[in-house]
Structures are given as C-alpha cells and as structure tokens.
Amino acid sequence: MPHRLVQDPGLPVANPTTSHWQIPPNQEVLNIQSPNLPETRDVVVLGSGITGLSVSWWLLKDSDSLSLSVLDAREICSGATGRNGGRINCTAVQDFEKYRRLYGHDVAVKIVRFELAHLDAIQTMIREAGSEIAQSSDVRAVDAIVAIFDEKTLGEFETMLENFESAFPDLKGQWRIVDREGLTQKYNITNAKGGLVGRAGAAWPYRLVTGIFAQLRAKNEHRFTLEANTPALSVSRTLDDNYPYTVATPRGIIKAKHVVHCTEGHSAHLLPHLRGILVPRRGQMSVQNFAIGPPRLGSRSWSIVTGDLLDYATQDPRTGEIFVGGGETNVGKAAGLGNSSDAEQDFLALSHLFGVLPAAFKVDQRDHEVADKKRIVASWTGTMCNSLDKVPLVGMLPQSFLNRPAGQQSSAEWISSGYGGYGMVNAFLCGKALAKMMTGQDVSSWLPEPYYLTQERAERLQRTLQRVFSSEKEHIKSLL
C-alpha cells in the first residue's frame, strides 16, 4: 500500500470550507460556462487561480489570434488562491539563507530577486486593468514585521540579516532588527524577544483574480472562455496534427494544441508520475476581531515565530479584521502533507490560531465580543503544494513525467506548480515565464535556473523519490 505522500490527490472536493476571501462571490464569473464547450482551442489551461490567470493574461496579451479556455473543477478561483493568507510576502532574509544552502549564493540571489519582483509585477498588471480592479483587490505595499519569541531564533535572524546585506548591498537597511522595546512601542507586540522589520505586499487575491478574469473575457469574448465546474477527467494525445490533445470533461471534450497544468496541489491527479514529487499540504486560515487591540493598519503584515512554529497575518484596511493563518509546527506541517482536501478544518491549528493574537498583541482578553462584531469571524482550509526539491516546476512536461507521448514546442503539455505555500511571490511570474516559453521566448535572464523543468531535473527528482520512497520520514524531510 503506497503511503500518503504518493497517493492520488484527486480532484478538488465538492464541499470545501467557506473562505472569507470569497464572500461575496464574484457573480460575473462564479459559475460561468459557455453554452457548449468549444470544440478546439489553441490552449486549454487547467486551474483558475493566479497561475492560470497569469498564463492567460500573458498569452492573450502577446497574441491577437490565440484561442484559450480556462477549466476549473469548481467555481472560478475557489482553490488555493482564493484561500491563502492574502500576503505578497517574500521572506527575503530567510529565503536567501534557505536557497543559499540548497543551491549556492548566486542562485539564491536570483530566486530572492524573482520573489521580490512580484509586488511590482502584479501592481503593473493592475494599473493596466484599471482603477476598479485596483480598489477592489486592495493590492498594496506593507511593512512586514516578524515577531520572534525566543532568543535562539532571534540570534539566527541577526546572522541571516548580516549574510543578506552582504549579498544585497543595494537593499541594505530595508530590513532591520528591532528590539523588544521597539516592537512593543511601535508595533504593539508584547512578550517578543525582538523582531525583523522589512517590506512586503498584501492583497485580496480572490477579487484580484476574478476581476481580471472578467475583464479578459469581456475583451476577448470570441477567443477566451471560462469554464467553471468543468473538471478535466483525463488528458490524452492523439495523432491529430492540428489539435493533438483531447481534454475529457463531464460536459464533453475539447481538442487542444497545448494543455497547461496550473492546479497546484492537485497537479499529480492527471500526472501520476508526479505523485510523491509534487505533494499537497493542507493549511488553516481564520479571520478575527479584537475588543481592544491593534489600530486599523492595512499597511502592515505580521509573522509570529517561536522555534519552528509560524503564524502569519494581515489586516483588512477597511474593516480592521485580521486574517491569520498557520498554527503549525514542523510536526503539524508533516501531518498536513498528502492531504488535498479543503473540506475539513485542522483542529489543532485552529485552536492555536484562536489564541495567538491576543497573546502576541497587547490585547485585553476579558471582553472577546465587540458590538456588532464577532471575535471569530470565519475559518477555512486551503491546499498548498510542496515539491521534492523545494522549488516550483516550471516548463514543458518531459516524457519521464507522462504516461502518454510527450509533446514538442509547437504542441505540448506544460506545468507551473509546487510553490510550497508561497504562491503569491512565485505564481504570477512563473505563469508569465510559462507563457513566454510556450511562444518560444527566452526567460533565462530572470527565471531562476532551479525552477526550469528539464529532463535532467525530472530524472534527478525521480532518483530522489526512489531514495526516500521507503521512508516516510525521509520523504517528509525532503519536502519541508
């Protein structure tokens, strides 16, 4: 019996927990379908999150004639992007250290700069989309505060910051260590030993994605469709010279030149050779209010760190509600690996999250209810995806990852997946890279080398999987 890390993630469940990001839903695209599925398409994109949006945006932008359909198993943007933490947050100091150890100094610098570029890239798209999208999506720059609650971790952050500033002299001073008193006086965080303050972004991701999808449909109505509640049941390749791919759905089939897999934690359902290489992981989110607490500061986001425990939060600039997620130690993260269902809550993580903000901030916990407000507004789960070598897979799918004939530049299957819980600082530009690759453009100057899905990388990942397959403990270690 294969263990849980190599099982079929399946299609998204039909009865997910209700994400607060998706209230109210965007009725313009929520359950949108064509009266009949298109018979043929140049490109079929599977998944309507931020990766699927990015691929669609860039392909339609670069061509006046290309035809494209986006399929989703559920409502539009009801998966990971519509369930995340709302942060466009490159943990630059920590990520440089992580990737330096994995891939060396120069590659780590390129990965961090790639992640940092996402806020500007998304804001550029929004400026083109217009003021209505800008207002509804709340994409904004924020101060990122990491509150650290043990001396050992604080010392590690001080060393990481020194290494970071040495590698990024142009960014020196943009991240800084703050002592206990500084956190208390300026940022209203109590009991922490100290912290790291830097820059990041935040957004209402569901409104961003669904709003721009609606725009794309309006502007490209004769060559672009959104097909909600239309799961891809299978993908096969035929000898047809024009449209070799057949995508089967409960509503019929679409023949396509290209198929693009943007389904993150569910990618390995239609790509069984990726099971154990791309592994889903469930995460917990909540929305909370305080009787007494932080002022309404939509210009801040927080991370709360104690040893291997991480919580993260952003504040709605309009209502003051705080979106807070995490509640997992490494043991908790390991327990969530292999779980692709967002239909259940994580009881232990939720129990922690309901208490962490009153403990971290200077909050009077005696009065938990505020007039016309609930202490706990909502809670839900979402599905992330970890890769076996800790970076996304971006590119054309090679034969070793397929149980059907592989394609070539003119007609192929493509993938962008495996963001490890940091999709908002990876997915948009990975989707752009994929779109550029599909049209034969060179992205090597800005896409980090380890992200490329090559035959060599595929074989290396398969060797790693063979090595760790017999030990769930080693498999988990490779994923986290």
8 Å CB contact between 368 and 276:
no
Look at residues 121, 91, 125, 123 and name the one whose alpha carbon lies nearest to residue 108: 91
Q: Where are the alpha helices (DSSP H) in 255-389?
A: 267-270, 330-336, 347-360
135 near 184, Cβ under 8 Å?
no
| Paired sense of beta strands 252-261 and 40-46, if any | parallel
Compute CA 281 distance to the chain's CA centroid, rounded to the nearest angstrom.
Answer: 12
Cα–Cα separations (whole angstroms), residue 37 to 64, 73, 248, 251, 253: 21, 14, 11, 7, 7
- pLDDT at res. 366: 46
The confidence score (pLDDT) of residue 3 equals 80
Query: Tell me, what's the pLDDT at 334?
Result: 86
Q: Are 381 and 78 in contact (CB under 8 A)?
A: no
Contact between residue 60 and residue 224 where contact means Cβ atoms under 8 Å apart: yes
> Which listed CATH number (3.40.50.1000, 3.50.50.60, 3.40.50.9100, 3.40.640.10) goes with 4-83+206-279+388-479?
3.50.50.60
> Helix, strand, or coil here: 45?
strand
What is the C-alpha to C-alpha distance for residues 276 and 388, in angstroms, rounded to an integer? 8
**Per-domain residue ranges of the chain:** 4-83+206-279+388-479, 140-201+282-383
Check residue 30 and give its pLDDT: 97
Count, residues in the chain: 480
Distance between CA atoms of 38 and 245, rounded to whole angstroms? 14
pLDDT at 187: 87
The pair of three-digit structure tokens given for residue 104, joined into one six-digit string: 């060396």
pLDDT value of residue 143 = 94
Name the burial class of residue 470, with classes exposed (0-12), middle (13-18) and buried (19+) by CB atoms within 10 angstroms of its CB.
exposed
Collect all residues with Cβ–Cβ distance below 8 Å to 130 and sequence separation of at least 6: 215
Comparing CA positions, the residue from 281, 364, 291 lying closest to residue 322 is 291
Q: What is the pLDDT of residue 297?
A: 64
Residue ranges of the chain whose pLDDT lies below 70: 1-2, 291-298, 362-372
User: Among candidates 278, 257, 258, 370, which has minimal Cα distance to 322?
Assistant: 370
What's the rounded Cα separation, in Å, for the pair 378 and 288?
7
Two tokens, residue 275: 């099971």
Query: Per CATH, the architecture of 140-201+282-383 is what?
Result: 2-Layer Sandwich (3.30)
Listed in sequence order, the residues at least 6 apart from 37 whose beta carbon sits closer than 8 Å to its beta carbon are: 69, 227, 230, 249, 251, 252, 253, 254
Residue 371's pLDDT is 57
Residue 392 contacts residue 426 (beta carbons within 8 Å): yes
According to DSSP, residue 63 is labeled -
Backbone angles phi and psi of 316, in degrees to 5? -65, 120
The answer to whether 43 touches 60, Cβ cutoff 8 Å, is no
Q: Which amino acid is at 438?
A: M
User: What is the distance between the alpha carbons of residues 70 and 47, in angstroms, rounded to a whole number?
Assistant: 7
